[in-house]
């Protein structure tokens, strides 16, 4: 092996972007890897909620879907909910009522959708003007259009032309803007009215003339009367969103885009304040989800999302998952090593191969042409299997651990020892610091590590689902990727009515014990922490895996 080549290979791992939005847009689809049946679910026209913890690839999946839809001739509007609203953070301002903050959230979201559709309409109009100009100047002919010459890049790439009218779309966008920006003045109304003009007054003298019996003499006078009319409103202007006009505007937009389908892709749902999420969900349920020819995909973190809230009348505000939104998909379940080791290895091998191929094409001769060659050239023995297990089903963690392992390996293939050191560094540098200000979570993690790793010499455990919901802290540790949910709804054969969830302590956490704690080095070679082949297979045996969370945490 040439030293310079291996060093370039490892450097390619260091250059992989950690977040999909930081990647060049033209490389998103090239580097995307489909995970099992997830691709088929994602491409369906059903409304869906895509669940997954941070780093599982939700953003990458939505951006990839957006590119695919553009190639099909449909219209996709991608909205990053982290970026909406004002810099002052009005959505999180506790000084305002939830109704006021929720209304502003709806308006900001609709404004973002409006801007996305406006860009689509303007791009379409510019494209049509260019084609008309070329045709009038004689630069194109019907045969040119048929053969695809001198057409925009979307035509050359095989994108179907849906022929929607940009003028009609712009007209419907005006209706959307009007429906989203209605203002209501709340306060007192004072009315003052003044008239202007002349009035004639007639007065009778009461004198009867003898020549004309019955005729009375009278005198008249005129005087001017003036006034003003003034209406004074004193109060506060408040925005309000009317779902009826808004729904009609959305239907008009879909009609204007026909036969193209409109896809609304909402990313980072969990970045919206939790108490406001049902307001945004209710807007979707009332004005968007019932519209035919439109599909909504929402990317969210399950344990940080609240799609519905009950009302005092027994109803609810928001979306009923499984009813209003047809289905939900959990990315965590697709990539967990213990659910399917072979599938997880294949996914991550393709992930690293696709990302490094962009850089290796200019760095080395004859870069690995397939995933098998990639793994053989980058990793020694079982190191890649160890890396996949260390990732715990999270692509972003896999990329970061691989980059740290490449630094340790430098100009040599990556070994198991490199992966373990990298996993420990990533755990201490990123994951553990995520709960630094959460004392309950830190105490719970310490207690679980002492019990599961220290006393039981294991890394997996099961907990009653009701105890998990009551404690809450386990959910926080799961969100921080310090605990990993391997299996839901495990039945206890001795108590069929109780359901348990199976968790695992993070790989980096217990590997840090292997590398840093001397008491684990003193154990025999058969101990699982010292196994050169990696960590042992996982299992859930109630006799030794069940944990009384209440007793453990006090």
The two beta strands, 316-318 and 294-300, are unpaired
Structure tokens at 421: 């050191």
- pLDDT surpassing 80 at residue 487: yes
- pLDDT surpassing 70 at residue 197: no
- Confirm if 481 and 431 have CB atoms less than 8 A apart: yes
Whole-number Å distance between alpha carbons of 508 and 321: 34
Residue 214 neighbours by CB under 8 Å, 6+ apart: 208
Whole-number Å distance between alpha carbons of 170 and 117: 9
Residue 68 in 3-state DSSP?
helix
Angle at 98 between CA 93 and CA 102, to 5 degrees: 90
- Confirm if 339 and 486 have CB atoms less than 8 A apart: yes
Domain range list for the chain: 3-16+337-431, 47-180+237-325, 439-553
Output phi, psi for 202, to 5 deg.
-110, 130
> Looking at residues 343-359, what average pLDDT do you find?
86
Whole-number Å distance between alpha carbons of 431 and 424: 10
- pLDDT surpassing 50 at residue 215: no
* pLDDT the model gives residue 321: 83
Whole-number Å distance between alpha carbons of 458 and 464: 18
Structure tokens at 261: 């389908």
Whole-number Å distance between alpha carbons of 463 and 346: 31
- Per-residue pLDDT tens digits for 247-298: 999 999 999 999 999 999 999 999 998 888 998 998 899 899 999 999 999 9
- Confirm if 116 and 79 have CB atoms less than 8 A apart: yes
- Per-residue pLDDT tens digits for 400-457: 999 999 999 988 999 999 999 999 999 998 888 888 888 989 999 999 988 888 888 7
H or E segment to which residue 333 belongs: helix 331-335
- Per-residue pLDDT tens digits for 449-481: 888 888 887 788 888 888 887 778 888 899 889
- pLDDT surpassing 60 at residue 163: yes
* pLDDT the model gives residue 241: 67
* pLDDT the model gives residue 153: 40
Strand segments (E) across 5-136: 48-51, 75-80
Q: What percent of the chain clears pLDDT 90, i.e. is strictly above it?
A: 21
Output phi, psi for 193, to 5 deg.
-120, 135
* pLDDT the model gives residue 152: 37
Determine which of 79-88, 226-235, 370-379, 459-468 has the lowest per-residue pLDDT on average: 226-235
* pLDDT the model gives residue 373: 86
Output phi, psi for 546, to 5 deg.
-70, 140
Tell me the CATH number of domain 47-180+237-325, given options 1.10.150, 1.10.3470, 4.10.860, 3.40.50: 3.40.50
* pLDDT the model gives residue 296: 95
The two beta strands, 495-505 and 483-492, are antiparallel
> Looking at residues 204-219, what average pLDDT do you find?
46
Residue 369 neighbours by CB under 8 Å, 6+ apart: none
- Confirm if 13 and 357 have CB atoms less than 8 A apart: no
- pLDDT surpassing 90 at residue 522: no
What rounded mean pLDDT belongs to the chain? 77
Residue 220's beta-bridge partner residues?
202
pTM higher than 0.85 = no
> Looking at residues 525-533, what average pLDDT do you find?
44
Q: What percent of the chain clears pLDDT 70, i.e. is strictly above it?
A: 71
* pLDDT the model gives residue 523: 46
* pLDDT the model gives residue 222: 58
* pLDDT the model gives residue 157: 38
Strand segments (E) across 287-410: 294-300, 308-310, 316-318, 327-330
Residue 265 in 3-state DSSP?
strand
- Per-residue pLDDT tens digits for 67-119: 989 888 899 999 999 888 654 455 556 667 777 788 888 888 888 999 999 98
Q: Which residue has the tokens 């990458």?
A: 60
Determine which of 130-144, 340-354, 409-423 has the lowest per-residue pLDDT on average: 130-144
- Confirm if 54 and 92 have CB atoms less than 8 A apart: no
């Amino acid at each position: 092996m040439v030293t310079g080549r291996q060093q370039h290979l490892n450097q390619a791992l260091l250059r992989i972007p950690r977040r999909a939005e930081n990647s060049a847009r033209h490389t998103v689809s090239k580097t995307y890897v489909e995970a099992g049946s997830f691709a088929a679910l994602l491409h369906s026209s059903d409304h869906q909620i895509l669940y997954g913890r941070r780093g599982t690839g939700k953003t990458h999946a939505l951006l990839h879907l957006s590119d695919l839809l553009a190639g099909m001739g449909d219209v996709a509007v991608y909205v990053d909910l982290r970026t909406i609203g004002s810099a002052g953070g009005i959505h999180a301002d506790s000084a305002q009522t939830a109704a006021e903050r929720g209304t502003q959230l709806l308006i900001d979201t609709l404004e973002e959708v409006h801007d996305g559709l406006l860009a689509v309409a303007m791009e379409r109009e510019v494209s049509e003007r260019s084609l008309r100009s070329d045709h009038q100047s004689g630069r194109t002919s019907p045969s040119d259009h048929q053969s695809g010459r001198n057409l925009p890049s979307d035509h050359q790439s095989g994108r179907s032309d849906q022929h929607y009218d940009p003028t009609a779309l712009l007209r419907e966008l005006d209706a959307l803007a009007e429906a989203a920006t209605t203002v209501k003045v709340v306060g007192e109304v004072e009315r003052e009215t003044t008239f202007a003009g002349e009035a004639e007054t007639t007065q009778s003298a009461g004198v009867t003339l003898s020549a004309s019996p019955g005729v009375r003499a009278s005198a008249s006078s005129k005087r001017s009367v003036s006034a003003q009319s003034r209406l004074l409103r004193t109060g506060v202007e408040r925005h309000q969103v009317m779902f009826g006009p808004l729904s009609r505007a959305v239907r008009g937009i879909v009609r204007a885009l026909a036969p193209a389908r409109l896809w609304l892709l909402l990313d980072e749902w969990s970045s919206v304040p939790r108490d406001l999420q049902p307001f945004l969900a209710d807007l979707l349920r009332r004005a968007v989800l019932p519209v035919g020819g439109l599909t909504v995909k929402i990317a969210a973190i399950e344990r940080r999302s609240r799609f519905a809230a009950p009302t005092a009348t027994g109803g609810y505000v928001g979306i009923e998952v499984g009813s209003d939104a047809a289905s939900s998909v959990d990315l965590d379940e697709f990539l967990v090593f213990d659910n399917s080791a072979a599938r997880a290895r294949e996914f991550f091998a393709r992930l690293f191969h696709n990302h490094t191929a962009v850089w290796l094409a200019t760095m080395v001769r004859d870069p690995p042409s397939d995933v098998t060659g990639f793994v053989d050239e980058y990793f020694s023995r079982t190191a890649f299997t160890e890396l996949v297990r260390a990732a715990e089903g999270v692509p972003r963690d896999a990329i970061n651990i691989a980059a740290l392992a490449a630094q340790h390996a430098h100009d040599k293939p990556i070994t198991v020892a490199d992966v373990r050191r990298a996993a420990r560094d990533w755990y201490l540098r990123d994951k553990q610091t995520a709960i630094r200000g959460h004392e309950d979570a830190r105490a719970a993690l310490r207690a679980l590590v002492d019990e599961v790793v220290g006393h039981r010499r294991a890394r997996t455990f099961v907990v009653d689902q009701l105890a998990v919901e009551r404690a809450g802290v386990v959910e926080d540790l799961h969100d921080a990727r310090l605990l990993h949910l391997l299996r839901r709804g495990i039945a206890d054969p001795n108590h069929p009515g109780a359901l348990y969830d199976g968790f695992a302590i993070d790989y980096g956490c217990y590997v840090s014990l292997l590398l840093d704690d001397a008491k684990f080095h003193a154990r025999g070679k058969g101990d699982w922490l010292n196994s050169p082949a990696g960590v042992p297979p996982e299992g859930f045996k109630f006799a030794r895996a069940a944990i009384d969370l209440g007793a453990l945490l006090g």
